[in-house]
């Protein structure tokens, strides 16, 4: 069977984007007739490694008699994902693969393989129950380690027998076309069994050979030129009343990109935006030592497949890309000449600042201070003379109380203000605990807040999260509060770049642009 290079590329990408249950064997369609056994061997390798990884991780903890608390949440997700894979994989074999061969081979007997499935599943359930706790003990880890070993012993035997049976007895009775069709059915079934998508990125990437670090989220979330604090799984987890799924793209044997999708809490059919997640969408792994035209081509190819995947699998899609994602032609071109649904693209803008020594010296000219609008420079000097009281204590409860009192008269009654505040509380506390929050509060003559601003920081930059003021706050206070935060970030070497997070409404937009930043565009898209 001859398959074009373009089709093979498309299928190979689709495999990685969907899950490990998608039609793996199609990537081996090169003229031989062992599509099914090759695909089965691959999924079995994927299932085998986490058993070794899990046992190895637990052995390190047990040998030191110390729980790795930092990694426990990620490790819990990792092992839970393994259980999901086991169940989905075996269910697909029991319900689709074995019945297919029973029709072809009248005396086929799969009772032994099915029995092995039933023996593995109770062990998997016990593992999932044992690890689904927030405060594990050494004894708890010891029990999980024993269960993983029992699972591995059964699994090794089952794997060998099943692969031999498929390759020697079953595969020869199917044509190449029938094998591919069967793989497609198994893939679609596996996807339906894995909703919500529990195959989180640490699980996937670890099974492609990277080191054991269950807290890393996407393996390249810190090194990707496109990533922001909002792409961090750890941050997304702090936001209540949502769920999320994570995906990766494995192309030509290595991880090239990944993305986190946000869903309503009880609806995995929709991908939504959220006001506390400014940027979402795809981030690419660093593409070093590659010629610029090749980078453009590869990214375009990846985004083309992602655009198709999102359309095929979700009723609704809302994404906002980080400003470094510039080539969105694959989404514009998706279903370009057909009557099928198309992506609606919106061009948005933010303002970015590069911090320099003028924050301290207040030098004019080609400096950050010099690029401020004259009224902003005047406001800063006025604030210094007024000797207003500014402090940086990240007092979250004070901030939330202030936010509620200021917003209550204007709040859209369709939305629950208390629920929004609780969501903010969870995220802000996480950011404070992880030292990713930087705040400034301005106090009035009565020692009451009159202006509060919050920034998020990561390894690349600081992000304006929100600021709120009383109607009576002086014009200089907001300007100077932001200026002081930049000054502190620069002096403490915490950040050298500021993203002011959107200049897309007239009043807020002109204020932020008057602070001397550079206009930068980014894109959001919707699909309904």
Residue 8 has pLDDT above 50, yes or no: no
Residue 94 within a domain: yes
Domain assignment present for residue 208? The answer is no
Domain identity same for 398 and 457 = yes
490 membership: H or E segment, kind and range = helix 475-491
Structure tokens at 42: 């691959």
Q: In this structure, what CATH number is given to the domain that contains residue 273?
A: 3.40.630
| Angle at CA of residue 342, ends 336 and 345, nearest 5° | 105
* CB neighbour list of residue 160: distance below 8 Å, 6 or more residues apart: none
| CATH code for position 179 | 1.20.120.520
Torsion of CA 520, 521, 524, 525, to 10 degrees: -160
Considering the domain architecture, whether residues 174 and 72 belong to the same structural domain is answered as yes
Query: Are residues 241 and 324 located together in one domain of the fold?
Result: yes
For residue 220, being part of any structural domain is answered with: no
d(CA 374, CA 379): 9
53 with 156, same domain: the answer is: yes
* Predicted confidence (pLDDT) at residue 255 exceeds the cutoff of 80: no
The boundaries of the domain holding residue 313 are 229-342
Question: Binning pLDDT at 50, 70 and 90, where does residue 32 land?
Answer: very low
What pLDDT, in 10s, does the model give residues 70-85? Answer: 778 778 877 887 888 7
At 250 the pLDDT is 65
Q: Is residue 383 part of a domain?
A: yes
- Does residue 496 form part of some domain? yes
pLDDT band at 334 (very low <50, low <70, confident <90, very high): very high
Q: State how far the Cα of 200 lies from the Cα of 17, in Å rounded to an integer.
A: 12
Question: Do 402 and 461 fall into the same domain?
Answer: yes
Q: Which comes out higher in pLDDT, residue 10 or 178?
A: 178
Note whether residue 282 is domain-resident.
Answer: yes
CB within 8 Å of 163: residues ≥ 6 apart: 37, 40, 41, 44
In a domain, 204, yes or no: no
pLDDT of residue 498 exceeding 80: yes
pLDDT at position 65, please?
92
What confidence category does residue 417 fall into, taking pLDDT thresholds of 50, 70 and 90?
confident
Q: Are residues 31 and 107 in the same domain?
A: yes
Residue 333 has pLDDT above 60, yes or no: yes
- What pLDDT does 257 receive? 83
Residue 213 has pLDDT above 60, yes or no: no
| Domain final residue, candidates 319, 342, 365 | 342
Name the domain count of the chain.
3
Query: Is 351's pLDDT higher than 70?
Result: yes
**Residue 502 forms part of a structural domain:** yes
Per-residue model confidence as pLDDT tens digits over 166-197: 888 888 888 888 888 888 788 777 666 654 44
Same domain as 164, residue 33 = yes
CATH of the domain at 381: 3.40.630.30
Q: Does 122 share its domain with 175?
A: yes
State whether 336 and 419 are in the same domain.
no
Residue 466 reports pLDDT greater than 60: yes
| pLDDT at site 445 | 73
Nearest-angstrom CA–CA distance, 179 and 27: 12
91 and 127 in a common domain: yes
The stretch 153-157 carries a mean pLDDT of 94
Last residue of a domain, one of 287, 321, 342: 342
Mean per-residue pLDDT of the chain: 81
Q: How confident is the model at residue 33 (pLDDT cuts 50, 70, 90)?
A: low
The pLDDT score that the predictor gives to residue 7 is: 30
CB 20 within 8 A of CB 178: no
Q: Report, as an integer, the average pLDDT of 477-503.
A: 90
pLDDT reported for residue 69: 78
91 and 37 in a common domain: yes
- Average pLDDT rounded to a whole number, residues 231-240: 83
Residue-level pLDDT at 31: 35
Query: Which residues, other chains included, contact 115 with Cβ-Cβ below 8 Å and sequence gap of 6+?
Result: none
């Amino acid at each position: 069977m001859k398959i074009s290079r373009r089709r093979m590329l498309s299928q190979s990408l689709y495999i990685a984007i969907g899950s490990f249950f998608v039609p793996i064997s199609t990537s081996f369609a090169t003229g031989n007739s062992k599509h099914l056994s090759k695909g089965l061997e691959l999924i079995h390798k994927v299932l085998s490694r986490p058993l070794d990884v899990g046992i190895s991780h637990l052995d390190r903890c047990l040998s030191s008699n110390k729980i790795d608390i930092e990694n426990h949440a990620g490790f819990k997700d990792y092992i839970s994902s393994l259980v999901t894979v086991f169940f989905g994989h075996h269910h697909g074999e029991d319900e689709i693969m074995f019945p297919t061969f029973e029709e072809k081979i009248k005396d086929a007997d799969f009772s032994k393989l099915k029995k092995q499935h039933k023996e593995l599943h109770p062990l998997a359930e016990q593992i999932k129950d044992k690890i689904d706790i927030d405060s594990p003990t050494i004894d708890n880890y010891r029990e999980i380690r024993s269960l993983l070993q029992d699972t591995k012993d059964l699994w090794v035997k089952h794997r060998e027998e099943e692969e031999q049976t498929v390759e020697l007895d079953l595969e020869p009775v199917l044509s190449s076309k029938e094998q591919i069709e069967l793989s497609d059915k198994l893939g679609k079934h596996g996807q339906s069994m894995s909703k919500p998508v529990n195959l989180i990125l640490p699980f996937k990437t670890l099974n492609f050979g990277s080191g054991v670090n269950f807290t890393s989220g996407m393996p390249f979330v810190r090194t990707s030129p496109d990533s922001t604090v909002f792409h961090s799984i750890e941050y997304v987890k702090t936001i209540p009343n949502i769920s999320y799924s994570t995906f990766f793209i494995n192309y030509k044997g290595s991880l090239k990109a990944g993305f986190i999708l946000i869903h309503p809490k009880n609806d995995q059919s929709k991908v939504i935006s959220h006001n506390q997640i400014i940027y979402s969408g795809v981030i690419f792994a660093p593409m070093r030592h590659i010629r610029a035209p090749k980078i453009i081509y590869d990214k375009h190819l990846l985004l083309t497949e992602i655009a198709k995947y999102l359309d095929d699998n979700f009723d609704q899609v809302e994404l906002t890309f980080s400003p470094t994602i510039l080539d969105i032609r694959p989404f514009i071109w998706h279903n370009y000449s057909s009557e099928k649904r198309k992506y609606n693209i919106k061009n948005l803008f933010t303002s970015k600042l590069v911090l320099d020594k003028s924050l301290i010296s207040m030098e004019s000219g080609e400096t950050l201070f010099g690029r401020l609008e004259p009224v902003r420079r005047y406001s800063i000097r006025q604030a210094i003379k007024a000797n207003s009281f500014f402090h940086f204590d990240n007092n979250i409860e004070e901030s939330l109380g202030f936010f509620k009192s200021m917003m209550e008269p204007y709040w859209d009654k369709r939305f629950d203000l208390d629920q929004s505040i609780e969501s903010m509380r969870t995220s802000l506390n996480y950011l404070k605990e992880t030292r990713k929050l930087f705040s400034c509060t301005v106090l009035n003559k009565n020692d009451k807040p009159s202006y509060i601003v919050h920034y998020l920081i990561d390894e690349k930059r600081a992000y304006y999260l929100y600021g709120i003021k009383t109607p009576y706050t002086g014009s200089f206070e907001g300007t100077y509060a932001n200026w002081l935060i930049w000054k502190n970030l620069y002096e403490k070497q915490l950040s050298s770049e500021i993203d002011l997070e959107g200049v897309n409404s007239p009043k807020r937009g002109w204020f932020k642009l008057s602070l001397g930043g550079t206009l930068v565009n980014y894109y959001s898209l919707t699909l309904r």
